[in-house]
Structure 1
Amino acid sequence: MLDDAASRRDLIKAVAQEVIDHAEELTALDQAIGDGDHGVNMKRGAEAVLADIDNLAEKTLPEGLKAIGMALVMKVGGASGPLYGTFFMTLGKSLPEEPAPADTVAAFEAAFQAVMARGKSHPGQKTMLDVLAPALECLQADPSASAALCTKVAEAAEATIPMLAEKGRASFLGERSIGHMDPGARSSALIITTVCKTLGAAGK
């Protein structure tokens, strides 16, 4: 799985480009219930990753993930930088160089727990955790079910629309946060879906 620089490069490029391509959508979602900068911030982080893509691809998968996490912490503003940075750094720290499916699930769970601790939050509060939690459940049920995972995370992002925000800037809006998709949930779904599709296309 991702055992050569070329395949790691393809995956990094695909994910970063997907974030960049959806920056305006993420900004619009955040304008409704947040500071309005999620798309801009995520795009900045993705561009920083792309600028260093050759170096990142040459690293082992764990080291590359940790480096991506550090880049996101440094370049992505707001709450998203520390949360996404924590996710990727923990993922990298938890993965062996040649992970089996069970290793990937365990690393994802560790990253999920780290994001919960960093954000002092839990699923059900209208955050990215409301996508990460069902994604983890799907992986635990069947690590190879990429199509099911794509469906699950898309549905999970949609499911944040009727939720009341209890964390972050959106929580200040109270009832007015209802009726809008959480931007962090949407960006999480985009990233997970792109990883699944890219690995699936590569036969990984």
Structure 2
Amino acid sequence: MAMTDVGEAAITALATAMAEAMFAHAGELTDLDQAIGDGDHGLNMKRGFEAVMAELPAIAAKPLPEALKAAGMQLVMKVGGASGPLYGTLFMTLGKEIGPAPDRQELAAALAAAIAAVKARGKSDTGQKTMLDVLAPVQAALAAGASIGEIRAVAGEAADATVPMRATKGRASFLGERSIGHMDPGARSSQLLVEAVCGVLGGGR
């Protein structure tokens, strides 16, 4: 799964796929967040990726590392709540850690560093019903040599696995036991972004 030529067309395709996933599922993400959060996750993610799309020609013209940093900055500036800083940190750290034509090993290492940065920013870890509960298994699958289709499946299974969890971080943690039985909206948005990337890279459905 070497991304040997991550040029303007590939960056445009990846950003567009992620944005379209957020636009298509904004209502679902809002519904999930209304159950256990502030109720604004879908709107916030939609707003953030609208900002990325508005700047896409300039972003896509940059080398991959700079494009990721630029997209991350848009998310930090435009996405409200906790999600903006966390997703912004994810993308900006990927940009710092990755080269312009990463192979699987480099991609896995960059994602591991980005996940560590998200943990530090959110003072959170896996098992607390957050986006990390999707990102960490996806990184492990990537590092282990999983196929694109397998990575997509891991993301879906990981998001589903947040349903029986009790939230111990974020606004959902205030609900205690009542947070059980709901999928974490951040985990779902992470799943959708992973699936979008997998689709562009050839995972199909």
What is the TM-score normalised by the length of structure 1?
0.96
The answer to whether the aligner puts 1:49 opposite 2:52 as a matched pair is yes
1:126 aligns with one of 121, 126, 129 = 129
Counterpart code for 2:17 = A
Could you tell me which runs of 5 or more consecutive residues in structure 1 were left unpaired when the two chains were aligned.
Answer: none
| Aligned positions of 1:89-168 closer than 5 A | 89-142=92-145, 145-168=147-170
Give the one of 74, 98, 106 matched to 1:71. 74
**Aligned equivalent of 2:185:** 183
Distance in 2 (CA, whole Å) between partners of 1:97 and 1:162 is: 39
Q: Distance in 2 between matches of 1:165 and 1:100?
A: 35
Instruction: State the Cα deviation string for residues 119-147 of structure 1 (Å, max 9, x = none).
Output: 101000000010011111101110x5110
Q: CA deviation at 1:4?
A: 2.1
Q: Is the 8 A contact 2:36 2:172 kept in 1?
A: yes
> What is the TM-score of this pair, normalised by structure 2?
0.96
Q: Deviations over 1:87-129 (max 9, x none)?
A: 0000000001221211111100000100011010100000001
Residues of 2 paired with 1:6 and 1:134: CA distance?
28
SS of the aligned residue for 1:151 comes to helix
Q: CA deviation at 1:10?
A: 1.2
CA deviations over 1:142-177 (Å, ceiling 9, x no partner) = 0x5110000001010011001000000000000000
The runs of at least 4 consecutive aligned structure 1 residues that moved more than 3 Å come to: none
- The Cα shift of 1:201 comes to 6.4
**Identity over aligned pairs, percent:** 60
Structure 2 portions without partners, runs of 5+: none
The residue number in structure 2 matching 1:196 is 198
CA RMSD of aligned residues (A): 1.2
CA distance in 2, matches of 1:201, 1:128: 21
Q: Secondary structure at the match of 2:202?
A: helix
Matched pairs, number: 201
